[in-house]
Amino acid sequence: MLGREYVNKVISEVEKRNNGEREFLDAVKEVLSSLVPVFDKHPEYISEGILERLVEPERQIFFRVPWIDDNGNVQVNRGFRVQFNSAIGPYKGGLRFHPSVNQSIIKFLGFEQIFKNSLTGLPIGGGKGGSDFDPKGKSDREVMRFCQSFMAELCKHIGLDTDVPAGDIGVGAREIGYMYGYYKKIRNANDQGVLTGKGLSYGGSLTRKEATGYGLVYFTEEMLNDNSLSFKDKTVLISGSGNVAIYACEKATELGAKVVALSDSNGYVYDENGINLDLIKEIKEVKRGRIKEYLEKVPTAKFVEGCRNIWKEKCDIALPCATQGEIDLEAAKILIKNGVKVVSEGANMPTNLDAIEELQRAGVLFGPAKAANAGGVACSALEMSQNSMRLSWTFEEVDEKLKYIMINIYKNSKKAAEEYGNPGNILMGANIAGFTKVADAMMSQGII
Ligand code: GLU
């Protein structure tokens, strides 16, 4: 059977079995379509049913999360953990707390995580979890009670060598702290490496907070340099104002770029003098406020409602760091018309499939999420190593390792794209490089 025929057959089976799971189906189609030349060259993957096994999570855990709000009322949320693939290491991936969370979103994120984690070169499998709980507007005590109830169930399924969750949207150091505390209490075990993204006083790693954003910029700078470009003097748009966006803004600015806009779910701020990041950190990291408050201190900046409008501003480099599906075909066309040279993804799957094709057709350099934003999970794996060794590396040591990993991800993705006949297509190269390592491990371990 030829590669194309095999891939189409598996995609249509996945569509039948996972009917209506749009995000998951998009993620599967994006990866599988890139792999056609791999199956032409390695028919042994077909006879071992690698793809049929890869698209089916090894285990999915869905559970009830009851908790009591500040008014004494009972609230019920849904909890998820999808343990997708453990061929190259323990399941690893974040927890997302956001009202949009459902089975399709967790499966798409878990599926992406398999290849992303493989690309880091570190021994981590793919998993993801979360809840439709919305931390926005909740008191600290409500967040704590929710996290404790969530962990009361999750703790039965995770472990140092089985599954190691971390943060994602809506889950930062506060939530990880509450979850780790409760895990330790009910398991009577100081298993620090069971969660990553921990606070520095109890096993967290220096650079973890900055890692996804810094990593995105290291990867993108490598891609720019490879094309005789750099961040220096470039105008940059960054969507989002969470962990990824803030530290991408910090590193891009350090490399000489001017970041002119950041957003949250209400809209975006545009500051032609370059965003004042200390102010953004104060609003978002300390006060947990809205980005609009930026104007109280910088009245010359503008606030525009509707976060998606950010792509209408002129830029050289766009770094989508908010969430999935934020650059659609229309936004891609506007970016191209305004002269964008690079789109590199800090969020998971922020660019729709048709928008990616449009950007690639126009010759825009494209950094796909699973490669470009792998710095967060890579640093999580470094946190696991430090926890196992019971020591801590310095900021500089971790940062240096992170940079090395991101540069290698770019080089390996580029090499795979060349080897399989599509030079310059980093999306295809990342999918192939991530896939082949997992597929080889699955081949060696038998049909399981
Ligand atoms: N949520 C992040 C991601 O999408 C990090 C996961 C982790 O550190 O395990 O890769």
Note the pLDDT tens digit of each residue in 371-409.
999 999 999 999 999 999 999 999 999 999 999 999 999
Cα separation, 422 vs 401, in Å, equals 29
3-state helix, strand, coil in the chain (%, to 5): 50, 15, 30
Question: Which residues, including other chains, have CB under 8 Å from residue 406's CB and lie 6 or more apart?
Answer: 215, 218, 219, 222, 374, 375, 378
Q: Is 177 in the pocket of ligand 1 (CB under 6 A)?
A: no
Mean pLDDT of the chain: 97
- Among protein residues, the one with the nearest Cα to ligand 1's atom 10 is 377
Question: Residue 27's pLDDT is what?
Answer: 97
Look up residue 196 and give its DSSP letter.
S
Residue 114 CA to ligand 1 centre (angstroms): 11
Residue 163 CA to ligand 1 centre (angstroms): 13
User: Which domains, and CATH codes, for the chain?
Assistant: 59-190 (3.40.50.10860), 209-367 (3.40.50.720)
- Among protein residues, the one with the nearest Cα to ligand 1's atom 9 is 93
Question: Which residues, including other chains, have CB under 8 Å from residue 189's CB and lie 6 or more apart?
Answer: 183
Question: Residue 102's pLDDT is what?
Answer: 98
What percentage of the chain carries pLDDT values higher than 90?
100
What does 318-378 look like in DSSP terms, one character per residue?
EEE-S-TT-B-HHHHHHHHHTT--EEE-SSSS-B-HHHHHHHHHTT-EEE-HHHHTTHHHH
Question: Residue 448's pLDDT is what?
Answer: 94
What does 1-58 look like in DSSP terms, one character per residue?
--HHHHHHHHHHHHHHHTTT-HHHHHHHHHHHHHTHHHHHH-HHHHHTTHHHHHTS-S
Q: Is 377 in the pocket of ligand 1 (CB under 6 A)?
A: yes
Residue 93 CA to ligand 1 centre (angstroms): 5
Question: Residue 383's pLDDT is what?
Answer: 98
What does 26-39 look like in DSSP terms, one character per residue?
HHHHHHHHHTHHHH
Q: Is 27 in the pocket of ligand 1 (CB under 6 A)?
A: no
Query: Which residue type, as a one-letter code, is found at position 385?
Result: S
Report yes or no on whether pTM surpasses 0.95: yes
Q: Is 262 in the pocket of ligand 1 (CB under 6 A)?
A: no
Q: Is 196 in the pocket of ligand 1 (CB under 6 A)?
A: yes
Residue 143 CA to ligand 1 centre (angstroms): 20
φ/ψ of residue 62, rounded to 5: -120, 135
What H or E segment, with its residue span, contains residue 59?
A: strand 59-68
Q: Which residues of the chain have pLDDT under 50?
A: none
Structure tokens at 237: 């748009």
For ligand 1, mutation pick of 160, 168, 370 (most atoms within 8 Å of CB): 168
Report which ligand 1 atom has the smallest distance to the Cα of 208: 8
Cα separation, 180 vs 80, in Å, equals 17
